[in-house]
Amino acid sequence: MKFVSYIYHGKSSYGLVNNNQIIDLGEKLGVIYPDLKSLLSCNNLSKVLEPFFDNGFKININEIMYLPVIPNPNKIVCVGMNFKDKKKEYNVSKNNLVTFIRFSDTQTGHNQILLKPKVSQQFDYEGELAVIIGKDCYQVKYQNAMDYVAGYSCYMDASVRDWQHECFTAGKNWPKTGGIGPYLMTKDEITELGQLVISTYVNGQQLQNDTIDNMIYSIPQIIEYISTFTKLTVGDIILTGSPGGSGKHRNPPLFLKNGDIVEVQITQLGKLRNFVIEQ
């Protein structure tokens, strides 16, 4: 199943995507499940949705304004330096699992503005796979970690490099610098997760390209690690790291500027597009 969160005729909602139409679930289920995050928490998602597969109110997908897939996650936990080529670029030799936080109000949706801070001259692109948690979990083991995953999405985890000093916080938490979407694809739709190809494009030029299999730490390992020290709840987002090829270590460096179009494409998950506008 493929879900989307959006605004339609001035009203926030969420729905199920079928070709170029959306079954508006918010209209039918909004009293019980006011947003996609709450819907994911229901015990039997397929049974809840079954009555609407053929009878739901349908919207043309071209008539919506995309919201972040999960507009209101409790947590966004990011993993850094999780691709071999990325570690080489940054000359990182340690094998520690690096984590940091992105605030939920920094997100923006598909086809929306990615906001370049006016004070920055080093606004960098980082395409990533986003993992959306489907059940609350705490101190889960590697073997069971995937049981707590709802699905996946594309993410533009843009970095304000000239504000990344000793830690990542200041470089990751500017308004509208985290693009997510277009959709949440449920995990049952993905047969070979490791074979998914993640690519980032700026103005049509491919600048990042790698497969999920080349992550240093797998998704189960990441979930096991993060859930050891914090409880993950439904709708939380884990960003699994960006491949090599980011702008900072190109020769010459290549940073996002006003008017650029940046896209993240992942096999089976679609293509996230954002338009860079300077504050």
pLDDT at 107 (0 to 100)? 98
- In three-state secondary structure terms, 141 is coil
- CATH number of the domain that residue 179 is part of: 3.90.850.10
Side chain identity, residue 227: S
Looking at the fold, whether 191 and 264 belong to one and the same domain comes out as: yes
d(CA 42, CA 37): 10
- In three-state secondary structure terms, 104 is helix
Percent of the chain exceeding pLDDT 90 equals 87
Is residue 54's pLDDT more than 80?
no
Residue with the two structure tokens 């039997």: 44
Can you tell me the mean pLDDT for 121-140? 98
Looking at the fold, whether 158 and 134 belong to one and the same domain comes out as: yes
Cβ proximity of 24 and 57 under 8 Å:
yes
Is residue 67's pLDDT more than 80?
yes
Of the candidate ranges 56-60, 96-100, 271-275, the one whose mean pLDDT is the lowest: 56-60
- Assign 56 a pLDDT band (cuts: 50, 70, 90): low
- Assign 167 a pLDDT band (cuts: 50, 70, 90): confident
Q: The tokens of 1 are what?
A: 């199943």
Looking at the fold, whether 62 and 89 belong to one and the same domain comes out as: no
Looking at the fold, whether 141 and 37 belong to one and the same domain comes out as: no
Q: Which of 169, 173, 179, 168 is nearest to 276 (CA)?
A: 179
Looking at the fold, whether 53 and 107 belong to one and the same domain comes out as: no
Dihedrals φ, ψ of 150, to 5°? -85, -45
Q: Which of 166, 152, 154, 138 is nearest to 226 (CA)?
A: 138
Is residue 180's pLDDT more than 90?
yes
Domain residues for 62? Answer: 2-66
pTM over 0.75: yes
Looking at the fold, whether 83 and 15 belong to one and the same domain comes out as: no
Look over the chain and give the mean of its residue pLDDT values, rounded to a whole number. Answer: 95
What does the DSSP 8-state code read for residue 30? T
* Residue-wise burial string across 119-132, b where 16 or more C-beta atoms lie within 10 A, e elsewhere: ebebbbbbbbbbbb
* Residue scoring higher pLDDT (153 or 43): 153
- In three-state secondary structure terms, 179 is strand
Q: Within 10 A of 138 (CB to CB), how many other CB atoms are there?
A: 12
Is residue 86's pLDDT more than 90?
no
Can you tell me the mean pLDDT for 2-8? 97
Looking at the fold, whether 57 and 80 belong to one and the same domain comes out as: no
Query: How many domains are contained in the chain?
Result: 2
Is residue 3's pLDDT more than 80?
yes
Q: Which of 21, 36, 66 is the last residue of a domain?
A: 66
- In three-state secondary structure terms, 225 is helix
Looking at the fold, whether 131 and 254 belong to one and the same domain comes out as: yes
Looking at the fold, whether 160 and 237 belong to one and the same domain comes out as: yes
Q: The tokens of 207 are what?
A: 């600048």
- In three-state secondary structure terms, 205 is strand
Looking at the fold, whether 49 and 149 belong to one and the same domain comes out as: no
Is residue 94's pLDDT more than 80?
no
Of the candidate ranges 92-96, 122-126, 148-152, the one whose mean pLDDT is the lowest: 92-96
Looking at the fold, whether 168 and 146 belong to one and the same domain comes out as: yes
Is residue 65's pLDDT more than 70?
yes
pLDDT digits (tens, 9 = 90+) for 190-228: 989 999 999 999 999 999 999 999 999 999 999 999 999
d(CA 203, CA 218): 30
Q: Provide CB contacts within 8 A for 205, sequence distance 6+.
A: none
Is residue 90's pLDDT more than 90?
no
pLDDT at 53 (0 to 100)? 79
pLDDT at 246 (0 to 100)? 94
Residue 146, Cβ density class (10 Å: 0-12 exposed, 13-18 middle, ≥19 buried): middle
Is residue 44 a part of any domain in this protein?
A: yes
d(CA 180, CA 170): 20
Q: Provide CB contacts within 8 A for 227, sequence distance 6+.
A: 137, 138, 139, 140, 145, 148
pLDDT at 211 (0 to 100)? 97
Is residue 196 a part of any domain in this protein?
A: yes
- Assign 22 a pLDDT band (cuts: 50, 70, 90): very high
Side chain identity, residue 144: N
Looking at the fold, whether 95 and 38 belong to one and the same domain comes out as: no
Is residue 71 a part of any domain in this protein?
A: no
